[in-house]
Structure 1
């Protein structure tokens, strides 16, 4: 009895103290409950540091003890670490419901943009705590918060000083080899990228988020976003992708979080603002690539000039809202994915498979923007505003397909390049067959260049190659040092485009692709021959099977003999 009485007295004292402090009994209970949950390092020290690779691993290990459905995740065939030995640590949170939608969330790809990495720890803890049951029931998540594991631990206060950072600083943009991992999805030069491609094959996500921080425009949005706009993606699926983001925009605005399409103000020749425009439509970006895998993609960019703590919270709120939308629209997303694959298959049934060679930015809407005239300190951080005005501006935040062509049945890759190219093609999920499996009733097509531009400076350490031209049945060279024979044709790699990922195969292998293996230098021995290489050129390393030229039809070449030297 005395013990009970003492407990009641202690409880009354606690209530009184909480009342004086402005804390309700419910809040006190929640605080006591939360104290039993793992705290991220930045929470423990009041946001004075951002997490290292080990910090995230320690937090996740503690969180795993709270829920057996949170497990470490290792995709089949994927590298376990970067080239320098830094671990690629990912986690998988299984759904509590049946037939969930799978979502991959990437963070820390640019190690100076750290908010997503830290927000993901809070989000997973909240999901394990049961705070979003509708998400937990409908969504299964894989996340790698420290994707650029090299950069995550290379924290320095001198990095990205234009943004308010924790005292310990943040990491560099690129990996240890100077590769921007957000330009590597197609060429897959880094171990990190090969991990992600393995994740696609193993986990097969329906949506992919990539969490970033903007570089420096002055506007009024807390978050800017972009859907997966890669050239050649299925248009209705891309339309659903955009609808998701505009729906979430409408939801967040009345909650005090203005969001809009990622971009920058556009200036006319008089240096006056005359519009807002987006950035990229190339699949080498993590957020654009998903559309070629029949997934939704989201680039999430927090506003660089908000405080570190605010940016973490903005990421948390926005990612949760994206997940809520996906949970509510799970069945529609799955239907549209199935329909997109069927539309590609139907093009082949109708003998009319077509894809655009490029896209152009186009007007989407007129929108009211906040235009900020900032006051900055010596490091470029905003410390005040001279003015803030509203402008109704045309927003060029969509892309339209141009230069649409009929695609070939497939491509043959010279067997001399097989060892180099097969691992990349198969890592992307493409079916690669022996050359002997090519359709024999289709003519072999040779590429005739009309223009070749080798970059004068490197991009990602590569002198990229931009090629123009068209496919014809005649070989372009009068004489080659090595000729295509029936034996080399049979030993070649054959990549048919009449397969689910045929769109991706086209953009990897067609010489005209602005983001393919020719562009990225994998075949420079042929496409970048210089003046010092004065011997006979080798045979063309890539042939098309069946017509791929706009002025040819499959019917006009069917049944014609292969023109090879025996």
Structure 2
């Protein structure tokens, strides 16, 4: 009996050792396989630091060796570096299927908001590994993970101390010139922005993601998002944009990831929470601008108070789910893009092209929010919660168009400004013609100002100007020092609005635009004359061609010869 028990014990020991050996071998084999793939910086050092520009380039170079369909990407005519010489490194992952949907994913635009930059490396690795075949078949991706390349390497533990950061710190918000790159899409002052505009013309994305981290309310959502709400975007396309995000919200919630529209709590005078409201509808934001290029736009904001590790994982999960939705709805997105362009063309066929001058926030729904009462340390990081209170609140997270007007046939830009404005207009993808190509049977319209406000403080280093008024056929009463002549009219830049990107042309060139070139100071020589300039002003730098008045038809107005000196 004893002998049998010893035999059984010996056999059990052998089996156990064999099992342990097999398990150990499997574990080592798994580790070896993982080591065969490139590791991001935070993976190599247990989340002690985020990636630099060189780190991302090294990771991507190693990943390219695994799949030749991952290539470096440089748009035609785009700058390769920032103004300081930092590389603008992007990569393109081809789809495995035919006629894919093209998606551009931007990260690191604010260099202190690093989670998207790090998550994108993992997402591309997973795609190359074959983890999401439905995405890989239907979607072609371009990404620039270190968009603010200046800031990506300027890491300092003192930056953004209110969020849990890796020990080595994160970068600053702005670029080296103090420009917030997420307010630069229209004026295109930075090399980074001109790179992105070139990407639009070259890659022609159907959707654009911009990955950020929040700064505001203690709301408890792991991700907040926003569709492209820029003033003047095609409404049905914007509705599909919002549907995409609410669909993904419904998918993520049962998986333990609460998400909602980006915004902050609204307080009354007694400091009580009364609503949730969104923030911006300006096309100068990377995520809003796509709607004027007939693309979907998605702002992704990870919750600033979650750990660095959790924020990377939240980005990974959410971006993958967005890509899944696009893959599943590829044909619908393409149809709606085509229809949006057709609707703009039809307005011109019907001789009634109209656009709003502004938007207002509107009520989208009532939603149940969890309001966090935080416990914070000296740096503002949440180290605990006193309580969470559920509140059903009206959510003002949509925008409606107001002050809709009939747009002119196009704009003439003074030839004196041609060298300054042509590169910007063409970078946006607009067709720019010589002034002699303007329709000669249309009236020249002069802008009659009713109000001019030059900002007292700078924004983005610019004293912005807000102009109100109307276009009229009559020359303004105040005499100009220089007249518009037939010669200057013919040498002017003519930007017709009856073109696919005519909406964008309107918001760039109309003096009333809240985000146009007049607002951003490109024509301050006329619009911001100081008290010490007592001579006659120059001629108006922009004229409209064709009536913008609602009670005029485009073919009912004829140019009167006396308006122009021959």
> Normalising by the residue count of structure 2, what TM-score does the alignment of the two structures yield?
0.96
Give, in whole Å, the separation in 1 of the partners of 2:336 and 2:425: 26
- Residue 20 of structure 2 is matched in structure 1 by 16
Q: Contact (CA 8 Å) 2:216, 2:264: kept in 1 or not?
A: no
Structure 1 residues 417-473: Cα deviation after superposition (integer angstroms, max 9, x where no partner): 000000000000000000000000000000000000000000000000000000000
Give, in whole Å, the separation in 2 of the partners of 1:28 and 1:511: 66
Give, in whole Å, the separation in 1 of the partners of 2:562 and 2:164: 64
Structure 1 residues 204-225: Cα deviation after superposition (integer angstroms, max 9, x where no partner): 0000000000013101200000
- Residue 434 of structure 1 is matched in structure 2 by 434
Distance 1:46 1:294, change over 3 A: same
Give, in whole Å, the separation in 2 of the partners of 1:460 and 1:379: 27
Q: Secondary structure of 1:548's match?
A: coil
- Residue 337 of structure 2 is matched in structure 1 by 337
- Residue 150 of structure 1 is matched in structure 2 by 150
Q: Contact (CA 8 Å) 2:95, 2:139: kept in 1 or not?
A: yes
Give, in whole Å, the separation in 2 of the partners of 1:373 and 1:544: 54
Structure 1 residues 390-431: Cα deviation after superposition (integer angstroms, max 9, x where no partner): 000000000000000000000000000000000000000000
Q: Does 1:283 align with 2:287?
A: no
Distance 1:169 1:479, change over 3 A: same
- Residue 474 of structure 2 is matched in structure 1 by 474
Q: Does 1:62 align with 2:62?
A: yes
- Residue 34 of structure 2 is matched in structure 1 by 34
Give, in whole Å, the separation in 1 of the partners of 2:83 and 2:265: 38
- Residue 125 of structure 2 is matched in structure 1 by 125
Structure 1 residues 247-285: Cα deviation after superposition (integer angstroms, max 9, x where no partner): 000000000000000000000111100000000000000
- Residue 162 of structure 1 is matched in structure 2 by 162
Deviation at 1:64, TM superposition (A): 0.3
Distance 1:554 1:561, change over 3 A: farther
Q: How many corresponding residue pairs?
A: 554
Give, in whole Å, the separation in 2 of the partners of 1:15 and 1:67: 36
- Residue 536 of structure 1 is matched in structure 2 by 536
Pairs within 5 Å for 1:55-454? 55-454=55-454
Give, in whole Å, the separation in 2 of the partners of 1:148 and 1:551: 47
- Residue 553 of structure 1 is matched in structure 2 by 553
Q: Secondary structure of 1:260's match?
A: strand
Gaps of 5+ in 2: 1-13
- Residue 456 of structure 2 is matched in structure 1 by 456
Give, in whole Å, the separation in 2 of the partners of 1:217 and 1:14: 55
Q: Contact (CA 8 Å) 1:412, 1:544: kept in 2 or not?
A: yes
Indicate the RMSD between aligned Cα atoms, in angstroms.
Answer: 1.6
Q: Secondary structure of 2:276's match?
A: strand
Distance 1:14 1:210, change over 3 A: farther
> Normalising by the residue count of structure 1, what TM-score does the alignment of the two structures yield?
0.96
Deviation at 1:548, TM superposition (A): 1.4
Give, in whole Å, the separation in 2 of the partners of 1:249 and 1:562: 61
Q: Contact (CA 8 Å) 1:179, 1:460: kept in 2 or not?
A: yes
Q: Contact (CA 8 Å) 2:351, 2:553: kept in 1 or not?
A: no
Deviation at 1:550, TM superposition (A): 3.8
